[in-house]
Structure 1
Amino acid sequence: MKNLRFCTAKAVFVSIFLFGLSLVSFGQNDSTSAVHFGFIYPLSTNGKQAASYTNRFSLHAIAGLSKSETGVAIAGAANMIKQDASGLQMAGAVNLISHDAKGIQLAGAANIIGNNANGIQMAGFSNIIKNEAKGGQIAGFMNLAGSSQSVQMAGFANITRNDAKGLQLSGFLNKGKNVNAQVAGFANIAGNVKGIQLAGLINIADTSDYPIAIFNFIKSGEKSIAITLDETMTTIASFRSGGRVLYGIAGIGYNFKGDKRDLYAMEGGLGAHIKLANDFRLNLEAVSQTLSNFKKGNYSKSSLRIIPAYKIGNKLEIFAGPTVNYVSYDRDKDYDFVKKFIWKNNSSENFQGVHFGFNTGIQLIL
């Protein structure tokens, strides 16, 4: 029975092999082949002339070599295509296409395209496109392209030498010249940004009206250093940075009302400018603040601020406005910064409450 199965399998393989040879022989005049089977160059139905053939279907156990592919190319390790490829290319490790690629390229490690790509490239590690990428790129680590017209998604970084007109989404870094939108876990770098820049820490751009990060270094935007005071007698020295509309806030300070202990302050948040007149604007801010003596227990406060601001000259701005605050702390700490609350949770393990407050200060525009 086993011998019968072996003989049957052998016969099927020989038939397929001979069928491939016949198709190759039929197509040698115009260097095209309907099918191309093999193990690794030159052990294939196209033999040593494989690099001169355009194939409609290719299947290789290890690696395949061809001039072009117009249909489906599958290889256990690598597809190596000297000119163009269209359709579907799948490889366990690498798809290497010297010129243009149209369609879908799937690789366990990398898709490397020597000119333009129009379609979808998905790789476990990296997609590298020398010039323009018109479709989407998804990579476990990095997408690298001359320019991008659609979506780039990577676990670590998306980098385009020129424009990125779609969305760049990465776990760590996005970089491009003129971009539409960037979302990164750590930093975004761009020339001109049409949409939003959202980063875990830093945005850098020539122009960006809607950067969302703690630190935003925008050439056409605004940076300032502020000194603020709130209803708990906490004084903060903060750095505000952003674009024409959105900005980030990062600050440190000290609480002067803590009679029994030294309490140091840290705050971070986001804000938005609403221009009302030449020297008058409204700043809307959402800020999280923590007071701590770095031993045990913290006083946590989340605030929404509505702050009118008036500009004095070109460099100074004074501001003051109401705030709505949510506070939380250990009940045994007995912080008495605020006496009146509009809401309190008396049943929770930690004290929780909501109260009104204020925020006022002055800032130097850099």
Structure 2
Amino acid sequence: MNIFYNTKTKPSIPSNRFKTAIKAFGLAGLLIAGGNSFAQDAKPGKIHIGFVYPLSTNGTHAPLDTNRLSFHLLAGVSSVETGFSFAGFSNIVRNEAKGIQFAAFSNHIGKKAEGVQIGGFANTYGEGQGAAFAGFGNISRGNVKGAQFAGFGNIAKAVDGAQFAGFFNQATSVKGSQFAGFMNHSNKDVSCSQLAGFINKAENVNGSQFAGFINIAKKVKGIQGAGFINIADSSDYPIGIINLIKKGEKGISVTTDETTSTMLSFRSGGKVLYGIIGIGYNFKNKDEVYAMEAGFGAHWFQGKSFRLNTELTGMSVESFKAGEYFKSSLKVLPAFRIGKHFEVFGGPSLNFISTNTAEGRDLHTKFIHTWGNKWGNSLQALYIGYGGGIQFIL
């Protein structure tokens, strides 16, 4: 065997493919080493991909990790999220979350959520800055600066923004607005407006309340608009059939008009606006004799002994058998105070009637304009009338 080196023979040079393979193996080694050290330390900026905890790239270490991107087919667990996280069922973030969290069922963030949470059913978080959208409910254990949108309900402490819910909103205090299909409730003050299908309740309202049935508050600086009743310590602009305002005015009145419909009515409200509800009897009709009235009014040019009242009312005269008579009236009623508790008032009215009975047609015969059927009893008419009464102020 020739063990000597032939100086005339040149040493072989590795091919280009061989060089490329060496570089690839070296790069793979670096990646593996870097990946192992990366998995051992809780460093920010990870990409977390998996099925369900702990079947993911972060494994059992996932609850300690900070991720900038997370994607899980079922559910993901992490310490902090700084970008976008997606889960087919639920995202669970033990501490803070920034960016967007999207889950088909729920997002659960232990501390502050800053950005957007979209949950098919619910979002729960410590406090929030941004917006939360849920098919059923958003629950914040702390304050929210932004908005909550839920198909059923929103719960938070202090809200600086807005709450929108299909059924109810609950907050300690609100600096913004609450919109709910059924109820808005605030334990303290509301700065702006509450709008609910049935009920609003708050302490002091530096704005307005609008509800389908009832509003409850202490001091209201704006409008209280309810389908039936408003309750407050102080409210100058309640719009409701019954308004129980502690610092307002309540009175029982007896009135009559040009059709001899005599009403016993309850008037209640604030310093400016008030509501009217009453029952009565028509002395001109034989069959249609029972009368019911409801409406709204306003006080103008108020002094010690005189003020001007304007009222918009609707009255129905019924026999509870067949036929109908309905009258809408705009009344201008100068009022004079007699002593501390009595007031007399009276004046002209602009009236529109709709009736389909002969007795209804005979209640008033002089009209500005009529619409009706020449061959039947149907009549719609516009005319000038009058009315007045006396009120005992409680």
TM-score of the superposition, structure 1-length normalised? Answer: 0.88
Aligned ranges 1:224-243 → 2 under 5 Å: 224-243=251-270
Distance 2:57 2:242 in 1: 59
Q: What residue is the counterpart of 1:71 in the other structure?
A: 99
1:255 aligns with 2:282: yes
C-alpha RMSD of matched pairs (Å): 2.2
Q: Do the aligned partners of 1:136 and 1:151 also contact (CA within 8 Å) in 2? A: yes
Q: How many correspondences in the alignment?
A: 343
> What is the one-letter code of the residue matched to 1:307?
L
Q: What residue is the counterpart of 2:303 in the other structure?
A: 277
1:199 aligns with one of 203, 206, 226: 226
Distance 1:88 1:280 in 2: 58
Distance 2:270 2:360 in 1: 40
Deviations 1:259-286 (A, max 9, x none): x325100000000011342110000000
Q: Do the aligned partners of 1:227 and 1:238 also contact (CA within 8 Å) in 2? A: yes
Distance 2:43 2:140 in 1: 23
Deviation at 1:92, TM superposition (A): 1.2
Q: What residue is the counterpart of 2:14 in the other structure?
A: none
Distance 2:339 2:191 in 1: 39
Distance 2:35 2:250 in 1: 69
Distance 1:94 1:78 in 2: 5
2:136 aligns with one of 92, 105, 109: 109
Deviations 1:283-340 (A, max 9, x none): 0000000001110111111000000111111111111111111111015445312221
Deviations 1:198-242 (A, max 9, x none): 111111111111110101111111111000011101110000111
Distance 2:39 2:219 in 1: 52
Distance 1:28 1:212 in 2: 66
Q: Do the aligned partners of 1:231 and 1:357 also contact (CA within 8 Å) in 2? A: yes
Deviation at 1:196, TM superposition (A): 0.5
Q: Do the aligned partners of 1:322 and 1:358 also contact (CA within 8 Å) in 2? A: yes
1:154 aligns with 2:180: yes
Distance 1:60 1:230 in 2: 70
Distance 1:112 1:23 in 2: 38
Distance 1:184 1:142 in 2: 12
Aligned ranges 1:257-336 → 2 under 5 Å: 257-258=284-285, 260-333=286-359, 335-336=361-362
> What is the one-letter code of the residue matched to 2:363?
F
Q: Do the aligned partners of 1:160 and 1:175 also contact (CA within 8 Å) in 2? A: yes
Residues 58 and 328 from structure 1, CA distance in 2 versus in 1: closer, same or farther, beyond 3 angstroms? same
Deviation at 1:26, TM superposition (A): 4.2
Distance 1:165 1:112 in 2: 21
Deviation at 1:80, TM superposition (A): 1.1
1:141 aligns with 2:167: yes
Q: What residue is the counterpart of 1:182 in the other structure?
A: 209
Which stretch of the first structure deviates more once superposed, 54-63 or 225-234? 54-63
Distance 1:186 1:290 in 2: 22
Deviations 1:48-75 (A, max 9, x none): 5555411122211211211111111111
Q: What residue is the counterpart of 1:13 in the other structure?
A: none
1:127 aligns with one of 150, 154, 157: 154
Q: Do the aligned partners of 1:292 and 1:299 also contact (CA within 8 Å) in 2? A: yes
Q: What residue is the counterpart of 2:27 in the other structure?
A: none
Q: What residue is the counterpart of 1:3 in the other structure?
A: none
Q: Do the aligned partners of 1:39 and 1:63 also contact (CA within 8 Å) in 2? A: no
Identical columns (%): 46
1:343 aligns with 2:376: no
Distance 2:80 2:40 in 1: 10
Residues 203 and 28 from structure 1, CA distance in 2 versus in 1: closer, same or farther, beyond 3 angstroms? farther
Deviation at 1:244, TM superposition (A): 0.6
User: Which ranges of structure 2 fall in alignment gaps of 5 or more residues?
Assistant: 1-30, 65-78
Residues 276 and 187 from structure 1, CA distance in 2 versus in 1: closer, same or farther, beyond 3 angstroms? closer
> What is the one-letter code of the residue matched to 1:136?
A
Residues 262 and 109 from structure 1, CA distance in 2 versus in 1: closer, same or farther, beyond 3 angstroms? closer
- Structure with the greater alpha carbon radius of gyration: 2
Residues 128 and 334 from structure 1, CA distance in 2 versus in 1: closer, same or farther, beyond 3 angstroms? closer
1:171 aligns with 2:203: no
Distance 2:304 2:223 in 1: 25
Residues 89 and 35 from structure 1, CA distance in 2 versus in 1: closer, same or farther, beyond 3 angstroms? farther
Deviation at 1:363, TM superposition (A): 0.7
Deviation at 1:45, TM superposition (A): 4.7
Deviations 1:338-365 (A, max 9, x none): 2211111245762011111111111111
Please state whether the residue corresponding to 1:267 is helix, strand or coil: strand
Distance 1:210 1:361 in 2: 24
Residues 128 and 191 from structure 1, CA distance in 2 versus in 1: closer, same or farther, beyond 3 angstroms? same
> What is the one-letter code of the residue matched to 1:206?
D
Deviation at 1:139, TM superposition (A): 0.7
TM-score of the superposition, structure 2-length normalised? Answer: 0.82
Residues 108 and 39 from structure 1, CA distance in 2 versus in 1: closer, same or farther, beyond 3 angstroms? farther
Distance 2:51 2:199 in 1: 39
